[in-house]
Structure 1
């Protein structure tokens, strides 16, 4: 939790007073004349709501019996103990005692120990992410480095439940801090054996692989064996060059090697599990991961015990259409199969399903111990109780809607709290379900009017902070479980409501489009202020479209670049965000058909939607229809251009995938299988045809970061080379690569430049004419014989050209 976001939470109402915040169910449109500017949207970020993304909840102690207390900072920078129920606060660590330049990383619920983390010292996409950490003893206020001599080289820090111990990774090995003493507990770590990390695709996707048992007697360590896994070099050029301080770039660029197996790689990382007895640190039990022949992918794990008796993990086969949940006896290392599942619809298994498991223990009327999980047994994501011995399975929720997130479990009262799409797939509402309820009997916690909600529950699950997240201005309220009247306002964003009212804002609406094949797609539409249906407006499609994703939701729309291009009178684009087949929260039947053919059905849906809208909406200008996407959305934009349908006139392509052979195996093979099993699918879904790009009236623009360790620059550069080689005209091909930027394109002010560049491209599209200059006439460059150099590509050709001969002779051109 970032302390700056919750400083204002301290002016709370007493718990006996019912309060409320009133919002219309629609996004704000403003009531004034101020225009949403580029600076508002991209630079200043003044139109964003304030809220707490999470709470560092604390348990009741000898000095405090009140539920609902949490750790935060006050305006002076002190760490304080505050309450969502009262306005009482207590300073626990003074600002002068907190290491400078750090932010809160973790605190145990008894508030014995606070762990703070420093800022990353390099703009590099490291694997895993490495930082400096400090430990603050709350009783004394004293702080010390987690590791003496640390130099931004610590990863996977895990604070124990009691706050008395900290596990972490230092130079690939596991260490444990306890009462200021650090002990090394593994000695075999290396670059080939990453302890504490069990995923490799992106550093930001790594699953923390250190878990203390509830009694803190054992530590589960999940590792990735990377021996013989392919490395991908990521190049860096500037190394923080700063002309204002005379700091110069190095004479030679350098690179870091990222473990990155592409689709079809012979070897992918192998997961390993070790259970370590912390009393002596030398008793290590290795758990073999061999459920599937060949390659196994670890999806999640937890201690399913109140002590240290049982460890549970879920393992997937390489293409992630089969899974097993396995229980391990920590004393004997014997394994029991709890449950096996398979995607019988040719789809894939949710890779995040096990992450929302929790240990329940005994359920009333049952003899076994249970875990709770989100699974798709009936084609929709629902809550289930699963006996650890495999003897019983109970479905708690049911229907043609999906559970978004398991929020909390009250094991004492045997109730689970969750968010779900029960009202509509674009929405999120809060519910509870009892362990002994019928599967279709759930209770709504807050109003079910159209909107998007999440919640954070106190440790006892007796109170919760309900966060309204859209479509109107977000706010947060405190509720007591069982009482539908709010007790306190955490944040109402009243100042932002007043500020937005002074603007004339784009109008945001939501609806569905029904496809002739019978399915529906969710649509989010943004139209300019003062919209006049008698006029013609240019169109921007801006989906993401990737598997399991969702963009057309009723969550808050930040007034960033996309709303800006609708609001600026010089642009006035109507924006459509449409969730095609393959996207999430509409059941497996809507999601699974894309397997083996990524980008085919998704693009077909976007093209159909564009044709349908242009045919039925007279105020859309069919001569100016742009498609912009980032990452998978960039891949979609590329395939839109390649499709050569004539529907879209311009494509903005940011950090795109272009060939699934180039992307990481964990993601790609989940949806495409392996290249040896699906060679035709890989060939068909690569971006290789150039005619559609060349025929696009307004051309295309590529943008990407040179240090993108996720979607490598190779993707863009291969397509660009094909386009140039096939005679793409410079007037129709723009590109900008951002030096040392990763997939987020942020390094050295890149974000502002990116959006200025994209805005210029939209402006160019609106100013486009059909005039053809002598130098911009199409030509066929490829030689008839593909092995022969194209005309004009050899030194002799340059010398034979009368305009180049003199320069060639003088050695200027070579």
Structure 2
């Protein structure tokens, strides 16, 4: 017994000595400061950008900066070494920011002076460069245009300007205006309206046929969509900016699909059915240059249909129809690929409860389900038809990981190509002989490697060694992952970041970070960005930072994600409160000092959590929050809540505006007045409700800033303010 007692004493002394050594080491390292993050760019990582695989399979191209000018260089796949300069911005006299080649690489299309419009839309000045002569040809005499795209036969470019679709023949510079009725805030041809761009992740809405003889495009008639008005501040009189924004329950654009035939100069409307209150979010050309595929969804998004249409006659045929008691997620059905045999296609669906890959005949009949299991395919990377292999990324190893796999088209022979734990993003060559792996973990910034199809690393393209060396000089808390059960037994994933000089005998405040929206994920084994380092800065100030992915988040299957259907905010808030209670029981946590912060959906969650969970949360920061789903757009909101007319309680019962009387703690509300996405109106109404409830709080608005709240000194100012608030209130 004495020996055991002596050993215990020795162990305790040893543990104490190790703890002292760790603390001493942490004290000798630098603390993360706001200046490091937002002024000096100390933690900015490098990567490899603008990669295009070249047609011969021996090279790829990449966009780099050379002496302050952009250049596109050619990289030898065998050696990983640079093999020449393809486009030289200095010689061309152009400061271009994007480029693309046509199929035979005889021409390049480059964009300069690109101006963002909304999240994905932009316009710029475009040039076509002849790769043999080096001559450049400016399109539209230097007027700004959008989505310029070379035809497959290399001699024409289609683009959108002033809401109309155009085409120019390069040899003669002959311009053809394909549509004539485009008008601001009324009709858009070939480009998405605001809500399609934001929620269906599309901006360009036209596609060349494989033979270059037709152009399919989507037309948006938004004349009946209500107009939203934002004021921009700065001149003597504020300026009005009006754009079409369909809030939940309001009218959407009437959409239709059309095909322009270059030979006849005629446009054919495609039959998408008689119902007009629908969505047409995707068009695809099949291997048959006269067969157009498209997706149609109903207003409530609980039915998704795939059609094949005759591009000449406009006649269409229903191929596949998928329905759900909740909703069919387009993001999980957005990998439609038609194989070169002209007889089959591949698609993804979560119809069995998890997103998986399916092989179909052209008539829609199922050949087989290629992948299966209680895990999700997050993306299809490539299909090697000759070898009959399919490459994909999935969560099979863990919802916290993203790994790269190959499987035979018959569903056999599945093999992992990236066994290292972490998150892998893959860019694979068209001949499927090579891929570039962007790999990171929570502890390691991105490492970019060139690999062969068997997974063998051929060359390191970027390892961020300089950043790793800098990180070694800072006292950083480790992101520790964990799971815990809620009151109903649901296991939730989370992480916690303790101060580098953590002392288990102290009592620390906790700040929880939340997003929590449907299909999202914060708890992931991947390298973080600015917000992660802000969390490290807070940890350096003695605040433990933690995060919990509540029910409704992604990577855990349909049932987990759809559990919040028709009641957004209810289960998510319960789970965040459960997370706070879980942390409060930890011996090193001060249960009277637990806070929560989030942005957008996260701001909605932090507001609700502070109010509903006023017994556990002391402080909250809400940045650009939705405060009532009645103010958000149709596509996103109705997917999860139905319309306000059908489900009014789902909109109102979990609105922070409905719970202002419960506010007890410290609340900081932040919004940009120029937010085209989550309108400043959300915060104005919450402020009015708080005033009526006689609740004290703090608020700050950023003039003219959009949903991202950035530009100039803005980011520095924002995070400094939030840091100061937490120091005062948490």
Which of 701, 721, 726 is 1:757 aligned to?
A: 721
Deviations 1:61-95 (A, max 9, x none): xxxxx523224336244333223432242223333
Deviations 1:22-58 (A, max 9, x none): xxxxxxx999612211112222223132112552222
Q: What residue is the counterpart of 1:773 in the other structure?
A: none
Matched, 1:327 2:308: yes
Counterpart mapping for 1:311-710 below 5 A: 311-343=292-324, 346-362=325-341, 369-438=343-412, 441-447=413-419, 449-471=420-442, 472-482=444-454, 484-558=455-529, 560-568=530-538, 571-615=541-585, 617-689=586-658, 691=660, 694-696=663-665, 699-710=666-677
SS at match of 1:610: helix
Distance in 2 between residues matched to 1:569 and 1:332, nearest whole Å: 64
Contact 2:271–2:316, Cα closer than 8 Å, also in 1: no
Deviations 1:604-626 (A, max 9, x none): 111011112212x1111112111
Which of 147, 164, 169 is 1:178 aligned to?
A: 169
Contact 1:198–1:271, Cα closer than 8 Å, also in 2: no
Aligned positions, number: 697
Distance in 2 between residues matched to 1:536 and 1:126, nearest whole Å: 42
Distance in 1 between residues matched to 2:705 and 2:87, nearest whole Å: 37
Name the CA shift for 1:109/1:361 in 2 (closer, same or farther; >3 Å): closer
Deviations 1:477-527 (A, max 9, x none): 222113x32111111222222221122212112121222423221112211
Name the CA shift for 1:516/1:162 in 2 (closer, same or farther; >3 Å): farther
Distance in 2 between residues matched to 1:127 and 1:379, nearest whole Å: 30
Q: Which has the higher contact order (CA 8 A, sep 6+)?
A: 1
Distance in 1 between residues matched to 2:230 and 2:272, nearest whole Å: 31
Deviations 1:440-485 (A, max 9, x none): x5211122x3211111111211111122122323212222113x32
Distance in 1 between residues matched to 2:379 and 2:93, nearest whole Å: 35
1:128, distance to aligned residue in structure 2 (A): 5.0
1:651, distance to aligned residue in structure 2 (A): 0.8
Distance in 1 between residues matched to 2:371 and 2:663, nearest whole Å: 51
Matched, 1:145 2:138: yes
Contact 1:202–1:710, Cα closer than 8 Å, also in 2: no
Distance in 2 between residues matched to 1:351 and 1:328, nearest whole Å: 20
Alpha-carbon RMSD: 2.2
Name the CA shift for 1:412/1:726 in 2 (closer, same or farther; >3 Å): same
Contact 2:272–2:316, Cα closer than 8 Å, also in 1: no
Counterpart mapping for 1:727-806 below 5 A: 727-729=694-696, 733-766=697-730
Matched, 1:286 2:256: no
Q: Under a length normalisation based on structure 2, what TM-score does the superposition of the two structures give? A: 0.91
Contact 2:271–2:315, Cα closer than 8 Å, also in 1: no
Counterpart mapping for 1:237-248 below 5 A: 237-238=233-234
SS at match of 1:116: strand
SS at match of 1:284: strand
Contact 2:164–2:177, Cα closer than 8 Å, also in 1: yes
Q: What residue is the counterpart of 1:301 in the other structure?
A: 283
Deviations 1:655-697 (A, max 9, x none): 000111111111110000011111122121222245556411x
Distance in 2 between residues matched to 1:664 and 1:703, nearest whole Å: 20
Distance in 1 between residues matched to 2:93 and 2:368, nearest whole Å: 49
Q: Under a length normalisation based on structure 1, what TM-score does the superposition of the two structures give? A: 0.82
Counterpart mapping for 1:156-195 below 5 A: 156-161=147-152, 163-179=154-170, 181=173, 182-191=175-184, 192-195=186-189
Counterpart mapping for 1:205-220 below 5 A: 205-220=201-216
Q: Which runs of 5+ in 1 are unaligned?
A: 1-28, 61-65, 239-249, 363-367, 767-814
Distance in 2 between residues matched to 1:237 and 1:541, nearest whole Å: 34
Which of 72, 78, 88 is 1:79 aligned to?
A: 72
Contact 2:422–2:526, Cα closer than 8 Å, also in 1: yes
Deviations 1:577-628 (A, max 9, x none): 111111111001101121111111111111011112212x111111211110
Q: Which moved more, 1:570-579 or 1:254-263?
A: 570-579
SS at match of 1:89: strand
Q: What residue is the counterpart of 1:70 in the other structure?
A: 61
Q: Which runs of 5+ in 2 are unaligned?
A: 1-24
Deviations 1:705-747 (A, max 9, x none): 1010000000001010111232223xxx111110110000013
Contact 2:32–2:536, Cα closer than 8 Å, also in 1: no
